[in-house]
Chains A and B, each alone.
Chain A
């Protein structure tokens, strides 16, 4: 029985001549919550985007939930998948963006209902009930008919989380979900994420919220210049960082 949700091996990513990811290895187990820390430009977002194949990797391989990302393995070769097949595989992975990226021409409820209806072709009535429950869960039952432009940043991000959850993902990726928020709105989003973690969702969270990482995460990964330089439990990484780069980064943010 394989308990690995994410298995990344020697992942490389290159933009032109710039090697953004240089041999990244990472294992994330089912139910684990892992946070990614690191300076700006160290490759955190890029790695997250590689996990659901929004970026094609230039070396190594990534498996999610036992499935190779972007390729099909047969006869000792890896065959590149078609875009629609990749889209199919992405349904298992939810993603939450720094800038929310809600669909502005749809209400909160429509945002949440969109993918189950247009991708999975499920009945609207059934999806609607689920979407209402999801909005209730993120504390926005009374905002379901609001358009994104009528919602605060924190509310928008909670809708975005509900939208991702509507596809019943096995893994959730968060790319700095609170960085675009006013300080007083950060808490409401982190609370939703905490409850999600408590329910056993597997999560990878890029964040600068040290408090959240310390309290919620099973493991902290520190990235620098395209490599993982250090990882461990929050206590290990925050109290006894081994690497000089980790120490200097933490001294700035703690």
Chain B
């Protein structure tokens, strides 16, 4: 009878391999913990001592400043480049294409150093009529400070990646939208501002959040310019006391803390955005994977 069957006890499927995995990972985790706790060379006393040390905190501020300013430059210039690449004007299209080709095709480290050493080939920067008289002139060394070189190196490189993200976002907006805007008599500029970009931003914001997280870590490259960001400060300290690993741990703890906060913010942002208009796909993780390999 059916009723009789319903009362029979149910034997759940067993997962013996899970327990094997737990055992193996448990053993390795124990080894790691033992290493971390019993190895006196790690000097956890130093780590905790330096964690809130004043120069380290100033380094964090520098890291955040570089990240924010470079991202703003990247997003603004990237949007301009994306619109240029989608323009009907072939000269604009080509210019933007060559920009992206160059800045994605050379290592960011080379770009950073290139800006920093620009003065050796271009001692003066001037504003004036091309091939004509100059209106104002500065010494390159006073204009391109460490900070400026860091911003130019990171920001101009970022713009090349942002251009692709913004272009994909604009391309993801249904063709009928610009047509409807045009049919209502909107000029191309108004159509972009009122109709296309607001919809494209749903596709652009999640990968931009990814870029910001990448930028936070990547900003540590500015140590080659001798900048005292978070990593640079840690380096400066261990060059005096030779406690490399403890200070790298200090830096790592702070980088982890900051990326964790950003990742949490990103997840919230994505959840909020996907709740909005249905029918607009929100692309997220894929873009990181694609670009990670390209760097």
Contacts and interface: CB of A to CB of B under 8 A. Distances in A.
Interface in B180-195: 180-188, 190, 194-195
Interface in B156-192: 174, 176-177, 179-188, 190
A224 interface: no
Contact of A149 (B182, B185, B194, B277): B277
Contacts of B277: 104-105, 147, 149
A158 interface: no
B179 A54 contact: yes
A167 B179 contact: no
A119 B193 CA distance: 12
A97 B180 contact: yes
A50 B210 CA distance: 43
16 contacts: A83-B187, A91-B184, A95-B180, A99-B176, A101-B179, A103-B181, A103-B195, A104-B277, A104-B279, A118-B186, A118-B190, A118-B194, A119-B185, A119-B186, A149-B277, A149-B279
Interface residues on B, range: 20 to 34
Interface of A: 52, 54, 83-84, 87-88, 90-91, 93-95, 97, 99, 101-105, 114-115, 118-119, 147, 149, 160, 163-164, 167
Contact of B177 (A83, A91, A103, A167): A103
A67 B280 CA distance: 39
The residue in A54, A105, A163 that gathers the most chain B C-beta atoms within 10 A of its C-beta is A105
Contacts of B184: 90-91, 114-115, 119, 163-164, 167
Given A91-B185, A101-B177, A163-B184, A149 B278 contact: yes
B199 A83 contact: no
B198 interface: yes
